[in-house]
Every structure is written in structure tokens, then in C-alpha cells.
A = this chain, B = another copy of it.
Amino acid sequence: MSSPDLHPDLEAVRFLLGTWEGAGKGVYPTIEPFAYREEVRISHVGKPFLVYGQRTWAESDGRPLHAETGYWRFPPGGRVELVLAHPTGVVEVEEGTIAGTTLELATTSVGRTATAKEVRTLARRVSVEGDVLRYTLDMEAVAEPLQRHLDAELRRTA
């Protein structure tokens, strides 16, 4: 397993590569607002997709909160596809567009295990300026319309 060259199809999204660390804030009508820390890792293996993993933990006491893992794909024409697994027992496909260093995606498909409790629909905006990655995540839950849930700013640390 060597360290391969970046696939040429990924040159336009090289700005996403790295380990990103920072903090965010979460809000939603059904919960108390909360502050979290986050680590995102985006890497590649020489093929035309990016490997993605993320975890968050509570600013207050360090307990683990959310995590997700999957792959980013970049079909021609400025399109973006994200396939994700969530430890809540949910798998999700998000699709959207990329313009410059900004990506906008929304859930197009959700699957779940027999014991998964919640299915949520997401809309995600990720924007990179140099070594700063900012994202917002809007969420539609069973009884709540699509609305802001997360807002975070991360810095590239590796």
C-alpha cells in the first residue's frame, strides 16, 4: 500500500484534502443548543474519489456526539455525490454541485437498519478558504421542517 499520486480527476478538489479540526454550534427546536469540537479527515487512495470520516464531541465534557464516514465522488459537470454511513443505523446519499471551493448538497436517498430510530433529510454547504473550512448543515426531521442545525469552522491541521 504505497502513497499514490492524486487522481487527475481530483485536481479541482485538492483543496478538500487534509485533517481539519475546529468547533461548531448546534441548534434545533427539539433540543438545547450545544457547542461541539470536530475532526474531519479527507484523504485519497489514487482513485477518483475522496475518503471521508468525521467525528464530533461535546465542548462541555468531551463525550462523543456524532460521527459519519463515507466517500465523495465528483462526476463531470460540477456535480458532487456523497455516500455516507451513520452509526445511528442510517445510510445516506447526498447529491449536489460544486462551484469554486464551495459544495452544496442535499439528501437524495436514505436507508436504515431495523433498529434505526431516526431518519433525517439534510442540506449541507461546505466552503473552503485557504486553510479554513466552514460548513452549515440544515436538517429536516420527522415533525420539523428543513432548518439550520449545525454551523462550524475548522482549520487544516495536517
Select which of B1, B63, B71, B108 is within 8 A of A57 by beta carbon. B1
User: Given the complex of chains A and B, what is the CA–CA distance between A95 and B115 in angstroms?
Assistant: 10
Judging by beta carbons under 8 Å apart, are A111 and B85 in contact? no
- Chain B residues with CB under 8 A of A55: 1, 45
Copies of the protein in its oligomer:
2
Judging by beta carbons under 8 Å apart, are A39 and B1 in contact? yes
| A112 at the binding interface (Cβ < 8 Å) | yes
Judging by beta carbons under 8 Å apart, are A86 and B83 in contact? yes
Judging by beta carbons under 8 Å apart, are B85 and A112 in contact? no
Select which of B46, B47, B73, B114 is within 8 A of A75 by beta carbon. B114
Judging by beta carbons under 8 Å apart, are A90 and B83 in contact? yes
Select which of B51, B83, B86, B112 is within 8 A of A89 by beta carbon. B83
* Most chain B CB inside 10 Å of its own CB: which residue of A46, A84, A91: A91
User: Given the complex of chains A and B, what is the CA–CA distance between A86 and B71 in angstroms?
Assistant: 7
A1 to chain B, nearest CB (A): 6
Q: From A81, which residue of chain B is reached at the shortest CB distance?
A: B113
Judging by beta carbons under 8 Å apart, are B81 and A83 in contact? no
User: Given the complex of chains A and B, what is the CA–CA distance between A112 and B81 in angstroms?
Assistant: 10
User: Given the complex of chains A and B, what is the CA–CA distance between A40 and B115 in angstroms?
Assistant: 25
Of the A-B pairs whose beta carbons lie under 8 Å apart in the complex, a sample of 18, sorted by A's number, is A1-B55, A45-B67, A46-B64, A67-B71, A69-B85, A71-B89, A73-B87, A73-B89, A75-B114, A79-B115, A81-B89, A81-B113, A81-B116, A83-B91, A84-B85, A91-B109, A93-B113, A109-B111
